[in-house]
Amino acid sequence: MRDVAIVSFSQLRGDPEGGVPEVLMLVPVVLEAIEKSGVPRKQIGFTCSGSCDYLTGAPFAFVQNLAATGAWPPISESHLEMDGAWALQEAWVRLQHGDIDTALVFASGRPSNSDLREVLCLQLDPYYLMPLWPDYISLAALQAQALLARTGHTEKDLAEIVVRARRAALSNPNAEISGEFTASELLQAPYVSSPLRAHDCPPISDGAAAMVLVAGDRARDLCERPAWIRGIDHRIDAQYPGVRDLSVSPSARLAGEHAGVGRGPVEVAELAAAFSHEELILREALGLGDEVLVNPSGGALCSNPMVATGLIRIGEAFRQIHEQGRERVLAHASSGPCLQQNLVCVLEAD
Amino acid sequence: MAERCAVIGIGQTHHTRRRDDVSLAGLVREAAVRALEDAELGWKDIEAVVIGTAPDLFEGVMMPELYLAEALGAVGKPITRVHTAGSVGGSTAVVATQLVQSGVHERVLTVAFEKQSEGDTSWGLSGGRSGGVGAGGYFAPHIKAYIERSGAPEHVGWKVAVKDRQNALRNPYAHLKLDKIDIDSVKGSEMLWAPIRRLESCPTSDGACAMVLANEAGGRRAPRAPAWVHGKAIRSENGFFPGRDPVNPVAGQDCAADVYRQAGITDPRRELDMIECYVPFSWYEPMWMENLGIAEKNRGWELTDSGATAFEGDIPVNCSGGVLSTNPIGASGMLRFAEAALQVRGQAGERQVDGARRALGHAYGGAAQYFAMWVVGSERP
Amino acid sequence: MAGSEPVSFMQQMVSLEYKLRASPVAVDFARRLCAGTITGHACPECGLVYTPPSGFCSICVVPTNTREHEVEIADRGTVTAFTIVNPIQYRGQKEREVYAVASILLDGASGTIGQQRLGDVDLDRVRMGMRVEAVWLPEEKRKDSAAMGAGLASAIHHWRPVDEPDTPLEEFAEHII
């Protein structure tokens, strides 16, 4: 495979100004990622983005977002109705052709426009499951319950994950929730859907992110410490909660294997674990031991702009290499109910 | 490019107004099974799936690939969902082709679908508000501008409407089978969005299309002659800015120039044996013939009027009956790509163009701003 | 399938509520519109004038803002393209009669405004190049919708022909849509 690196990353700072349309959330982010990369905007070889009509609340919502790239003269561009992490994978595939060296990837989501407990029901089998309106938190609670029952983990273990995430988020200006808490404090709260309490669930966040990929030596010329994509893969599980063991994630395990996670030690993992229990499932599936630092950004528990969350995990992993001097980090993205679909990306320094 | 890409299996459903006998999963699976049978492969042979459909609001299923993963044998595999407006069926095939050409996967299944009967497309397009004019109302002013600009006589649109419906009579999968259609019936049909009449418009269809793509080794081993990808490209441009020409968009010209360059084509009119082109309203045939460099600017209508694009003509367009006869929106682009591939494989049955060796598949979408194309050939490039 | 019972169907209507907040640029535009003025933004780099403004130039990708880049646009212009619509009757459609919609190039704008309703005109006489002007809603009716940041239709009921010579096609050939 051709060597491809992330050379720049940008994300929307904090909460976007009320009413700013998605494309205006993207304009500064896309411009910043391009500027930091040192690649002139008009020379970018391929552009790929991720977003979701049902989050925005309009058909063809992504069409407006195209303007954030200034697509004139015309550009080679594609869009996925998925998290931007999958758009990154498409761009990486496209760069393997060898005829172009640079790609722009971006993602945006405005989940705060709607009630996700209703909207996300539409992700389910439309004939047998969706008409029951099982909301995403209840589905996640089924998974959490299955995990606790199998492994003997406790609700306190879940609270400890939240304590650690919120503490880590103190140093992340983009996090929506952060602070010092204790597990016993958190456990005073009532259940939202047992065994999950509000702190075990992700906040509803809006967000946007962009990055630039560059192939070969040009990445070294443009960037001090680029993050090389050494492996990337994604897999999916069956959707029906009843047909699989919810306490494990075979698709995350497969994606991790195919991305080559085990080929070396992982220093940091940025996981799109939107619910606290998902971190435990993912750690197990990806074989991450206690020595691995998980979600130093605070992760999706502290800020979860759906369909941008995964791309932001990859961006945070890039920062770990580019700014923090790490050698080998892992990023993860997820889609669908109960961690149904998972993407794993391994980044390395030179 | 690490690898060549071959189309080794093609499947489609019998398209119709309502497929009441199958679910969404049943519909996509039917096309996928046919593509696998054509390739003489099983589900286990497929490494990855790339799926495309128009806006989720059309069927009311958000990210339907999540629910469809099991039906498409994708559990434990990568599945990617493309959405590029009306061009999506074409760009989905392009994304799948990239997975093979890059060397990432050896065999990829690509599927596109729409089950318009399970939703309300006009409602979806209007966002549920009153005053929606549909795609016809949106594109009618562009067509009006073309007619004004080129001085084309009005019968050209009627002629395309008749030609494509007659072509559909040779295609067992086509939705509309209007065996009595003629110029007078088109001309006499209701005016929906002037200058577009009812019989100059695409129908509302349920349907799916699937293809199995393989690398060079897979192409050589294929049980039936494959179609080789000689070029593939996508282009997008902003939909609204002063000075943009949506009648002859630069993105379409650039996309065509890119696929011709990859395929080594310098004179597309002569070097292509047929074209499957996204024509949802009759006038788009002459408009796209100009955009694709098959006819000179403002003279596409003369090409159509001369009969050159008819089944017996020297550059037949939409031998399948095209979008005017079959329109499962998300699949319409992939059907163009698949029909072009069937032609160069010599597998197009009664709609086969004699000796077709090189064909263009074309799709467009959005405000005529998204384009996807491929050139396929019988020869390994 | 042979021998199997016919499938029966039930309709499920799904209603989802979205709270879309008005964009600040749209709110400014609406405020001026409410007061009877159509405004646009001129790009500081290429000079193109956009109306309604989106807050940036989509070619230069340069942000524009209300104070510095706002320009006033006339409430009259030229029909550059049109169609006569026979409305599709989908759920929620309230239109029943045939009507004309047009792209209009307003005097002072670089690009057209699309899907604008024409009125006070014989549908057979609508043509490219025709000059039209806005028929404003009474001021009290504008306030409700305009404050929401809705578009031109929240203050302008329709566009009607004015007694001026047609604009020749070549003058707007590059601004048809």
Q: What pLDDT, in 10s, does the model give residues B171-180?
A: 999 999 999 9
Q: Do A114 and C17 touch (CB under 8 A)?
A: yes
Closest-CA distance of chain A to residue C26, Å: 9
pLDDT value at B14 more than 90:
yes
pLDDT band at C22 (very low <50, low <70, confident <90, very high): confident
Q: Do C59 and B238 touch (CB under 8 A)?
A: yes
Nearest CA in chain A to B367: A63
Chain A residues within 8 A of B56 when measuring between CB atoms:
52-54, 59, 81, 122
Between β-strands A268-270 and A46-50, what pairing exists: parallel, antiparallel or unpaired? unpaired
Model pLDDT for residues B349-364, shown as the tens digit of each residue: 999 999 999 999 999 9
Name all chains with 3 or more CB-CB pairs below 8 Å to chain A.
B, C
> If you average pLDDT over every residue of chain B, what do you get?
96
Residue B251 contacts A, CB cutoff 8 Å: yes
- Taking residues B161-165, report their average pLDDT: 98
pLDDT value at B245 more than 60:
yes
Query: For chain A, which domains are there?
Result: 4-115+205-224 (3.40.47.10), 116-203+228-348 (3.40.47.10)
Q: Do B130 and C103 touch (CB under 8 A)?
A: no
Task: Please check whether residue C149 lies inside any domain of the structure.
Answer: yes
Model pLDDT for residues A30-84, shown as the tens digit of each residue: 999 999 999 999 999 999 999 999 999 988 999 999 999 999 999 999 999 999 9
pLDDT value at B8 more than 50:
yes
Number of compact structural domains in chain C: 1
pLDDT band at C24 (very low <50, low <70, confident <90, very high): confident
Model pLDDT for residues A188-242, shown as the tens digit of each residue: 999 999 999 999 999 999 999 999 999 999 999 999 999 999 999 999 999 999 9
Residue A238 contacts B, CB cutoff 8 Å: yes
pLDDT of B304: 98
d(CA C76, CA C91): 34
pLDDT band at C88 (very low <50, low <70, confident <90, very high): confident
Chain A residues within 8 A of C26 when measuring between CB atoms:
19
**CB atoms < 10 A from the CB of A199, how many?**
22
**CB atoms < 10 A from the CB of B153, how many?**
12
Give the position of tokens 């954030």: A68
Nearest CA in chain B to A339: B66
Nearest CA in chain C to B61: C14
Number of compact structural domains in chain B: 1
Residue A325 contacts C, CB cutoff 8 Å: no
Task: Please check whether residue B24 lies inside any domain of the structure.
Answer: yes
Interface residue of C83, C128, C167 to substitute, partner B, most B CBs within 10 Å: C83
Q: Do A70 and B238 touch (CB under 8 A)?
A: yes
Residue B83 has its nearest CB partner, among A62, A93, A251, at A62
Chain C residues within 8 A of B129 when measuring between CB atoms:
92
pLDDT of B129: 74
Model pLDDT for residues B254-283, shown as the tens digit of each residue: 999 999 999 999 999 999 999 999 999 999
The whole domain housing C106 covers 24-175
**B contact residues 262-321, partner A, Cβ 8 Å cutoff:** none
pLDDT of C38: 96
Q: Do B62 and A62 touch (CB under 8 A)?
A: no
pLDDT band at C1 (very low <50, low <70, confident <90, very high): very low
Q: Do C111 and B129 touch (CB under 8 A)?
A: no
What CATH number corresponds to the domain at position B94? Answer: 3.40.47.10
Residue A237 contacts B, CB cutoff 8 Å: yes
Q: Do C87 and B145 touch (CB under 8 A)?
A: no
pLDDT band at C139 (very low <50, low <70, confident <90, very high): confident
Cross-strand partners of B276? B361
- Taking residues A131-155, report their average pLDDT: 97
Task: Please check whether residue B373 lies inside any domain of the structure.
Answer: no
Nearest CA in chain C to A73: C59
Task: Please check whether residue B93 lies inside any domain of the structure.
Answer: yes
**B contact residues 316-345, partner C, Cβ 8 Å cutoff:** none
Cross-strand partners of B6? B214, B228
Interface residue of A20, A26, A53, A127 to substitute, partner C, most C CBs within 10 Å: A20
Chain A residues within 8 A of C65 when measuring between CB atoms:
none
- Taking residues B331-359, report their average pLDDT: 98
Q: Do B66 and A73 touch (CB under 8 A)?
A: no
Task: Please check whether residue B216 lies inside any domain of the structure.
Answer: yes
Q: Do A19 and C23 touch (CB under 8 A)?
A: yes
What is the 3-state secondary structure of chain A?
Answer: CCCEEEEEEEECCCCCCCCCCHHHHHHHHHHHHHHHHCCCHHHCCEEEEECCHHHHCCCCHHHHHHHHHCCCCCECEEEECCCHHHHHHHHHHHHCCCCCCEEEEEEEECHHHECHHHHHHHHCCCCCCHHHCCCHHHHHHHHHHHHHHHHCCCHHHHHHHHHHHHHHHCCCCCCCCCCCCCHHHHCCCCEEECCEEHHHCCCCCCEEEEEEEEECHHHHHHCCCCEEEEEEEEEECCCCHHHCCCCCCHHHHHHHHHHCHHHCCCCEEECCCCCHHHHHHHHHHHCCCCCCEECCCCHHHCCCCCCCHHHHHHHHHHHHHHCCCCCEEEEEEEECHHHCEEEEEEEECC
The whole domain housing B208 covers 6-121+204-221
A-C contacts (CB, under 8 Å): 58
Q: Give buried/exposed letters for A315-326 (b at 16+ CB in 10 A, else e).
A: bbbbbbbbeeeb
pLDDT value at C146 more than 60:
no
A-B contacts (CB, under 8 Å): 171
Helical pair B88-101 and B329-345, crossing angle rounded to 10 deg: 50
Nearest CA in chain C to A110: C20
Q: Is the ipTM of this complex over 0.90?
A: yes
Nearest CA in chain C to A65: C58
Residue B236 contacts A, CB cutoff 8 Å: yes
Chain A residues within 8 A of C25 when measuring between CB atoms:
24
pLDDT band at C91 (very low <50, low <70, confident <90, very high): confident
Percentage of residues in chain A with pLDDT exceeding 90? Answer: 96
Residue B60 to residues A112, B120, B239, Cα–Cα distance (Å): 20, 9, 26
**A contact residues 14-43, partner B, Cβ 8 Å cutoff:** none
Residue B103 contacts A, CB cutoff 8 Å: yes
d(CA A12, CA A9): 11
pLDDT value at C43 more than 70:
yes
Chain C residues within 8 A of A72 when measuring between CB atoms:
58-59
pLDDT band at C94 (very low <50, low <70, confident <90, very high): confident
Task: Please check whether residue B41 lies inside any domain of the structure.
Answer: yes
Residue B63 has its nearest CB partner, among A58, A75, A123, at A123
**A contact residues 132-171, partner B, Cβ 8 Å cutoff:** none
Q: Do C81 and B145 touch (CB under 8 A)?
A: yes
Decide: B337 and B90 in contact? Cβ < 8 Å: yes
Residue B119 contacts C, CB cutoff 8 Å: no
